[in-house]
Structure 1
């Protein structure tokens, strides 16, 4: 392991500066709210408040309890129980933090939001995350303007916003106001065991021809060349496919998809990416993976039964307990699909993500914001990285720290990509119906029919159905 944070910091800042330039200018197309999220004020509970001061900039009640719910996935939950909550109680010892975790956020939390009794701070993530665009439009997410304007807990002379990498606030902004903290900084690509590759003299591919040739060698060695879990992680495949489309035709391809532009899903870049990946599904994937969950396929990779796995940089931490000694996580960018791709083979998808928000109608929304302010302290961010092997949006929080092989590899990949790091797409958090359809369509493409044209036409139809549905609030990206 090597210390690479200092030399990569400029690259990380450059990346999120470019993410900020995306300009998430969300504009409501209609006034109707999603039927699944209650928007009325009936039954709103009394909310805890306190007196604002230099030491209490958000005006919380120092004795009021705070309820938080954390998604238990790739990042685990120890950062909340072992770091954030103790830090919060160090400053507010009389404020009891009630903690719970779940793998199904929408199942557990959506009914409480609808009933007007939500937790104060929620980590909205996972395969069953809630439709956050609908939550914002229903007035259920608290405006975080005061949080970002508040002073940092441990970086003197700076507001919370001023301690974050450029673009961090903008990525949680809707209709010109911030409603979410996108906390984790994630790098996406093809994950593999560097030790296995060294042993077999395999080199990660830069072109699609190299990719398929290597898959042939891996298959001949008795190892499944590529795999992902169809049961609950098909969105990993959606990101892989659309990252390839973005490399073929630039990020504008993905912006058009986000903006529901007619023909966005049937353009040549998406067609070429879908056709290339369909070939991987037809020839190099284990068909039983369609019914498996993510941890089951990831365990097979830890056992060197699967070579390449498409995922984000949370993978190393998620598999920590099952990763055998000598297994060395590493990441490779998705290889170029054509010789005329507009972005180079080194181009990579990385961005701030993992939504955390305060519930506007909770018992203690200001307490929820104060908990987020704790998370955005330098101390909390550093400990988060140590525990999860994932970076945060707190600028420089991990400088000078020696990190794991996987995260070192991810940072090196970002550094090599330079200006060719792109944020990706946003429709998956804006339009749940379209996200659900993309997951199902990706599974069919990779496990069943291998039909790129059918995939593109299916997604185009779904996209335009959303575009024409006046009950769905629209957002735009420039």
Structure 2
């Protein structure tokens, strides 16, 4: 290890994370040069302070800024204990009004519609808003100026230049950035490494290994696999579509995003649905359909459930309920067929957790400045320490001591190498289609495992959306 320089390690880390974001072919700063003028007139009209090197966004230093943060797996301490104090230190005359909620749409959507929105919003959770509709309604601030502004604490670089490649594009619509997808998440099968070591269970690489292990786990009196149907069906949709992506490459998921006819009934999706439908039929506790995610996660902490499909926020979300000796670890979803086009080590990891500034609030520029603080190296490092989750700020957490779950996630990314892929975007682009997928996957997993029914249902919903001229369409290449 001593023969490898720190810069080489940093570069490897950056490239792994760039691959995980999935859009590394186009540098973020290059995209900005093409679109930075797109919202220039609108944002210029909002300037209420004098632009300078110290105040690149032209905020009013005395104007209050209001933020709303989703209180979920990541908690809110990063906002209350890190980001807000940093903002206040920079702008001591500005009051920061903070609200935490688990029902973002209930709290924020009426205010957006009334033109009295908070200035910066974390749009997440089961009650997240339809962000595509927010963009289409002109309620989200064009963040081009934010990404072109100097970094808060990295000299000589713009905000965009401090991020992993693809981070800007992932929050872009029609070539303009409207969201910061801040948290870098690794998705897979989460389990207690201590329980597996105790029982001599080996993490499966193939589907045959997976089902054979599930049989052993079931015989030991433990539920092999579980997720909460009440409010966490999204986890299962991602598991199924990750398997489809491994069977047929990420192009399968791009076709779904692009509403291509036949995308949901493609062989890779049908194969994945068949495989997961069998897991639901044989190894999933039916009562989980009515449970919430924290209830199922608590059962895993009690070693009553072996595998749980989720993202790397899980470890932090369960911190208060995780007993001593419980060691979170993550495994890629096993290969479904012997001819999967991606290897068993391939894993889904991507930037997620939407943060945006409202264009209709009282202080849109204050909202952008708050995001600039969040995208500083210092704030990103403290976020990782508090949440056990990485961010899109490149290299911000290099060299720090991390938790078992995050160590496992990093190890999975390393083993995946070039086979880390982003996944899909339709869930943020088209809320109605996303909602249909939640109901359809629950039906598949809890009510008989009919894969063809799942695929046909989703194909019908996707094509109805494709023909709906009232819905703004997005494309992905």
Does TM-score exceed 0.5, indicating one fold? Answer: yes
- Residue 449 of structure 1 and its aligned partner are, at CA, apart by 2.5
The 3 A distance-change label for structure 1 pair 5 and 330 is farther
Structure 1 match to 2:227: 228
- Residue 22 of structure 1 and its aligned partner are, at CA, apart by 8.4
- Total equivalences in the alignment: 457
1:402-417 correspondence runs (5 A): 402-417=401-416
Structure 2 match to 1:33: none
CA separation in 2, counterparts of 1:419 and 1:12? Answer: 7
Structure 1 match to 2:238: 239
CA separation in 2, counterparts of 1:334 and 1:257? Answer: 20
Contact map agreement 1:248 1:337 (CA 8 A) in 2:
yes
Alpha-carbon displacement from aligned partner over 1:172-204 (angstroms, at most 9, x marks no partner): 111111111110100000000000000000011
CA separation in 2, counterparts of 1:448 and 1:5? Answer: 48
Alpha-carbon displacement from aligned partner over 1:310-367 (angstroms, at most 9, x marks no partner): 0000000000000000000000000000000000000000011111000001000000
- Indicate whether 1:88 and 2:87 are aligned: yes
- Residue 8 of structure 1 and its aligned partner are, at CA, apart by 5.6
1:447-458 correspondence runs (5 A): 447-458=446-457
Structure 2 match to 1:217: 216
1:8-157 correspondence runs (5 A): 9-16=13-20, 18-21=22-25, 49-157=48-156
Structure 1 match to 2:190: 191
CA separation in 2, counterparts of 1:230 and 1:461? Answer: 22
- Residue 23 of structure 1 and its aligned partner are, at CA, apart by 10
- Residue 6 of structure 1 and its aligned partner are, at CA, apart by 5.1
Partner SS for 2:51: coil
Partner SS for 1:165: coil
Structure 2 unpaired stretches of 5+: 1-5, 32-41
- Residue 16 of structure 1 and its aligned partner are, at CA, apart by 4.6
Contact map agreement 2:184 2:351 (CA 8 A) in 1:
yes
CA separation in 2, counterparts of 1:75 and 1:204? Answer: 27
CA separation in 2, counterparts of 1:331 and 1:146? Answer: 38
Question: Relative contact order (alpha carbons < 8 A, sep ≥ 6): 1 or 2 greater?
Answer: 1
CA separation in 2, counterparts of 1:363 and 1:54? Answer: 24
CA separation in 1, counterparts of 2:12 and 2:404? Answer: 15
Structure 2 match to 1:332: 331
- Residue 148 of structure 1 and its aligned partner are, at CA, apart by 0.7
Structure 2 match to 1:34: none
Contact map agreement 1:16 1:165 (CA 8 A) in 2:
no
1:423-462 correspondence runs (5 A): 423-462=422-461
CA separation in 2, counterparts of 1:218 and 1:334? Answer: 17
Contact map agreement 2:193 2:329 (CA 8 A) in 1:
yes
Contact map agreement 2:188 2:330 (CA 8 A) in 1:
yes
1:260-275 correspondence runs (5 A): 260-275=259-274
- Residue 106 of structure 1 and its aligned partner are, at CA, apart by 1.0
CA separation in 2, counterparts of 1:301 and 1:351? Answer: 24
